[in-house]
Structure 1
Amino acid sequence: MKITAAVTEAQGKDFVLQEVELASPKANEVLIKIVATGVCHTDAVARDLAIAPLPAVLGHEGSGIVEEVGEGVTSLEKGDHVVISFAHCGTCPNCLTGHPTVCDTFNPLNFGGVQDDYTTRLSKDGAELATFFGQSSFGTYAIAHERNVVKVDKDVDLALLGPLGCGIQTGAGTVLNRLRPQFGSTIVIYGCGAVGLSALMAAKIVGCKHIIAVDVHDSRLKFAKELGATHVLNGRNVDVVAEVKKITNGGSNYAVETTGVPPVVKQSLNALRPLGTCAIVGVTPEMTIDVHNDIMAEGKTMMGVIEGDSVPRVFIPELVNYYKDGKFPFDRLVKFYEFEQINEAFEDSKNGTTIKPILKIAK
Structure 2
Amino acid sequence: MKQTMKAVVVRDKNDVAVRNDIPMPQIGEYEALVKMYSCGFCNGTDFHVIDGSLTKEEGLGAYPTILGHEGCGDIVAVGAKVRYLHMGDRLIHPVNRPCGDYSMTYGNMCEYALVPDHLAMLEDGWSKDQLPFNGNTIIGVEPNFVKIPKHIDPIDGGVLLSLCECLGAVRDFGIGEGASVLVYGCGPMGLASMYIMRALGVKRIVAVDSIDSRLATAKNEVGVDQTINFERTAVSAALAGEKFDFTYDAVGAVSIIEESSHYLRQGGKVCALGVLGAGRDLLNMHKLQNNTSVHIHSQPYKRFGFMAELVALIEAGKINPKNFYSHVLPMEDIHQAMELVKNKQCLKVILKIAD
TM-score normalised by structure 2 residue count: 0.82
Give ranges in structure 1 of 5+ residues lacking alignment: 88-113
- Cα pair 1:84 1:162 within 8 Å, conserved: no
- Cα pair 1:199 1:256 within 8 Å, conserved: no
Aligned equivalent of 1:44, options 34, 42, 47: 47
Partners of 2:81 and 2:271 lie apart in 1 by 39
State the secondary structure of the residue aligned to 1:16: strand
Partners of 1:245 and 1:310 lie apart in 2 by 38
Distance 1:242 1:274, change over 3 A: farther
Equivalent residue number for residue 258 of structure 2 = 266
State the secondary structure of the residue aligned to 2:15: coil
Equivalent residue number for residue 83 of structure 2 = 74
State the secondary structure of the residue aligned to 1:131: strand
Equivalent residue number for residue 293 of structure 2 = 301
Counterparts of residues 117-128 of structure 1 (less than 5 Å): 120=98, 122-123=99-100, 128=101
Shift of 1:15: 2.1
TM-score normalised by structure 1 residue count: 0.81
Equivalent residue number for residue 224 of structure 2 = 229
Distance 1:359 1:286, change over 3 A: closer
Counterparts of residues 53-64 of structure 1 (less than 5 Å): 53-64=62-73
Shift of 1:66: 0.4
Partners of 2:203 and 2:231 lie apart in 1 by 25
State the secondary structure of the residue aligned to 1:275: strand
Partners of 1:214 and 1:350 lie apart in 2 by 19
- Cα pair 2:245 2:264 within 8 Å, conserved: yes
Higher helix share: 1
Equivalent residue number for residue 317 of structure 2 = 326
Shift of 1:243: 3.4
- Cα pair 1:173 1:308 within 8 Å, conserved: no
Partners of 1:278 and 1:70 lie apart in 2 by 46
State the secondary structure of the residue aligned to 1:320: helix
Letter in 1 for 2:344: G
Question: Between the two proteins, what is the percent identity of the paired residues?
Answer: 27
Aligned equivalent of 1:192, options 164, 186, 197: 186
- Count of residue pairs the alignment pairs up: 316
State the secondary structure of the residue aligned to 1:223: helix
Partners of 1:236 and 1:58 lie apart in 2 by 33
Residue 174 (str. 1) matches residue 169 (str. 2): yes
- Cα pair 1:11 1:50 within 8 Å, conserved: no
Shift of 1:308: 6.9
Shift of 1:163: 2.4
Letter in 2 for 1:354: C
- Cα pair 2:258 2:283 within 8 Å, conserved: no
- Cα pair 1:245 1:251 within 8 Å, conserved: no
Counterparts of residues 82-121 of structure 1 (less than 5 Å): 82-84=91-93, 115=97, 120=98
State the secondary structure of the residue aligned to 1:172: helix
Give ranges in structure 2 of 5+ residues lacking alignment: 55-59, 118-142
Letter in 1 for 2:238: E
Shift of 1:276: 0.9
Aligned equivalent of 1:252, options 244, 253, 257: 244
State the secondary structure of the residue aligned to 2:199: helix
Residue 238 (str. 1) matches residue 233 (str. 2): yes
Q: Say which is worse superposed, 342-351 or 263-272, in terms of deviation.
A: 263-272
Equivalent residue number for residue 17 of structure 1 = 19
Aligned equivalent of 1:6, options 8, 30, 44: 8
Shift of 1:350: 1.4
